[in-house]
Each structure stands twice: as C-alpha cells, then as structure tokens.
Amino acid sequence: MNPLVSWSKAEPMLNLTLIPCGWGMTSSSGMATPDKTAGIKLMRMYFPRTYQELIQHDFIVFEHMFMDFLTPGQIDDLARSIEIEGLGGYVAIGGVTNQGLVPNFGWINSRLSEIFPSKASEEIFDQWRVYPFGRGGRIKINEDPYLAPVLKMFIPLGMDNIRVTHSYLMIAKEGAKIWARSIDGKDDPPFLISWTCGKAETWSNNIGMTYAWWFFRDPNMGGNPFALDVFMNMLHYSMGTDMPSDILLVHAARKAFMDYEDTKASLFTLADFADRFGANMNVIYDEIRDADMVRDRGREAYLAQQYDGSLDLLREAKEMLLATVEHAIRLKNRALLWTYVIEWFVVLSTLIISGEFIYIVMVQRRLFREAARTRLAR
C-alpha cells in the first residue's frame, strides 16, 4: 500500500530497504494486537545487523509501525542514527497511533518521540480519536518567506488546492516548521511539519503515506500528482542538497521512469501468458534487455542532473518497449492461432465421431426387425 515501494523501482535516487513491522503483522485477534513472535523474528531477519549498516542509509520512514517488535537496542540505534549521524526521518499520523485503535505506546515512550516535531502522548491520542475525521479539508501550503521552497514551488501548479477526504489532528512542538496545514474549518491542524534535531531534519505528517495525497490520483479525489516530487524535496532538504530548479522537467523525467516500468511490467505479463501457449519469447526478452540498456543510460544522465538528456533517452526506451509489445502480441496471436486450430480439429473430430455413432444407433436401426407380438391362445 505504501507508494515508496513502486517509487523505488523507478526513481534512480531511491534505494529502499524494507523492514516489515506494520499492519501486515497483526494477529488473528485483531488490528490492535500485533503478532510479536512473528514480528520479532522478522526484525532479526530484516533490521540492519550492525549500527554501521544502519547509518549507511540517509532517511528513515516510520509508517504505521509496531514498535513492540524492536528491541531497546534497535530503538536506541535508530535514535542515535538520527541525532548523531544526521539521518533524516518521517513519521506518519504524528506517531500518535499505528492503526487508530490504541495509542502507539512503543513510540510515545521511546527516545524517537522526543526527536520528532509532533507531540505524542496518551492524552493527545484521546484528542486525536474524537477529532471529526470525516470533515476533510484543503491542504494549504505555508508561503512564509523564511521557509525553503520544499512545497512552495508547487503552489503555481495548484497543489495547495487539493482536498483531502479526512482531516487528522496533529499538534506541533514549539519551534517546529509548519510547511502546510489542513484547512478543515475547525482547528486547521498542521499537515506537514519538521524541525532540526541534532544533525538531522525530522518530519511529521498528520496522515500516512498510504493515504490518497501521497498517490498519483485525481486531485478531486484527494490525490497528488506531485507526491514523489514532494518526497524527494523533503530528502534533498534533509540531506542539505540542492532541490531542482525546474520541477516540471524533473517531474516529467520521473514520470517517464514510472511509465517505463509500468509498460515493462505489462510486457512481462503478456510474455508469460504467451509462453504458456508455447510461444518462444526469448527474442522478446532480448529486446527488453536492449531497452533496459537505453533506460540505464537515462538513469545515468538523471543522476548527473542532465534531465533533458535523461528524458530523451527515456522516451527512446519507451518507444523500444512499445515496439516490443507489438512484437509480443504478434507472437502471442500466432501461438493462440495454433491453439485455436488444434481445438477446432478436436471439436471437429469429436463431431464426426459423435455423428457416426448417432448414424449407427439411430439411422441403421431399420436393419433390426421389431419382435412380433405373441397371439393369445384360446
């Protein structure tokens, strides 16, 4: 459900490490009860083995996580990596809860809660729970001049007119930067906030990344066509690197990467379908590799911030894939033609055999004489 998974397959600057500790690990007794045995086992498998491995990352996303799965040492390593090493961080729902039923005590009582800009406590959860979620609201970007253009560059593009279906309560700590608010006609709570903690910039969001605002959906339905661009700007700001000056050009390049991956996924599905009917798809896989080589050149140009060249290469790679799709369709149709011919012969032979049998049984029955009736003797 998290768009980061699909983003990381397309955005060249993202290299994602997944640590499963969210909703998928709830037990059969309900959403509020995590399966600790399975969760702790997964932490041993997926959490970085050493502190040095952990700090090789640049940013940590806490999305609806169950802190119960983490050991005190792992939580301490996460806090130290942010405070001392300067890793950026993001937490959904302000860290108050992970699934809406009970407070996220594992977060509230940890050091992590102290280094993020949103207040989190059992009392705030009680306020969060009774807040009128169904009110909805418009996301208003803060235009204060002291703020970097993390979000302000999207104002001319209409992003501050997107309406979200739910407005959640989040309370900012003193000194937090308020990047945007949810204008809900009640309290207009902060939508996205951050502050500098030690060497790091940590962010709190009053929704999670599984909500529509973080997806490329219709803005009338709460979607945000610039969601990936916002997240990448957050990363640039947290890491102290320059944000793109021409966001529309970068947006077009990122969308081209995602379109390429979507097309390739559909092509693999088509090739797998045709392969099951006996089509030789090796030539298709060779053509995909050729397109990937052009795509890889586009990735190199993108990482070198040569966005015009990257976009041209991505368009060339996409055209190669579309040509490969047409080739795959022809091979698929040829394989299915033989399947249809074989099925037609099977049906025809069955019809002939059945007709012959019916002829013998129904037509030639005249060769058999009906038994005469026995006369009653008197």
Domain coordinates in residue numbering, the chain: 3-243, 248-342
- Residue 9: the pLDDT is 84
Beta-carbon neighbour count of residue 126 at 10 Å? 12
Of the listed ranges 230-244, 294-308, 361-375, the one predicted with least confidence: 361-375
Residues 175-206 have pLDDT tens digits of: 999 999 998 888 889 999 999 988 899 999 99
**Angstrom distance (rounded) from CA 36 to CA 106:** 13
Q: Which CATH architecture has domain 248-342?
A: Up-down Bundle (1.20)
Q: Residue 361: pLDDT above 80?
A: no
* Residues forming beta bridges with residue 141, ordered by sequence position: 180
Q: Residue 28: pLDDT above 50?
A: no
- Residue 29: the pLDDT is 46
Of the listed ranges 72-86, 230-244, 282-296, 327-341, the one predicted with least confidence: 327-341
Residues 221-260 have pLDDT tens digits of: 778 999 999 999 999 999 999 999 899 999 999 999 999 9
Q: What percent of the chain has pLDDT over 70?
A: 90
Nearest to 179 by CA among 163, 194, 169, 167: 194
Q: What percent of the chain has pLDDT over 90?
A: 52
The band of 338, judged by pLDDT with boundaries at 50, 70 and 90, is low
Structure pTM? Answer: 0.83
- Torsions phi, psi of 203, nearest 5? -125, 145
- Residue 218: the pLDDT is 75
**Angstrom distance (rounded) from CA 357 to CA 314:** 63
CA distances from 208 to 97, 192, 204, 317 (A): 11, 11, 9, 34
- Residue 377: the pLDDT is 57
**Angstrom distance (rounded) from CA 268 to CA 287:** 12
Q: Residue 365: pLDDT above 60?
A: no
The band of 374, judged by pLDDT with boundaries at 50, 70 and 90, is low
The length of the chain in residues reads: 378
Q: Residue 268: pLDDT above 80?
A: yes
- Residue 10: the pLDDT is 85
Residues 128-177 have pLDDT tens digits of: 988 876 567 889 999 999 999 999 999 999 898 888 877 789 999 999 99
Contact 203, 90 (CB under 8 A): yes
**Angstrom distance (rounded) from CA 118 to CA 194:** 8
The band of 373, judged by pLDDT with boundaries at 50, 70 and 90, is low
- Residue 141: the pLDDT is 95
CA distances from 302 to 14, 79, 338 (A): 12, 32, 45
What does the mean pLDDT of the chain come to? 86
Q: Which residue has the higher pLDDT, 10 or 321?
A: 321
- Residue 347: the pLDDT is 81
Two tokens at 70? Answer: 């983490």
Instruction: State which fold the 3-243 domain adopts.
Output: Rossmann fold (3.40.50)
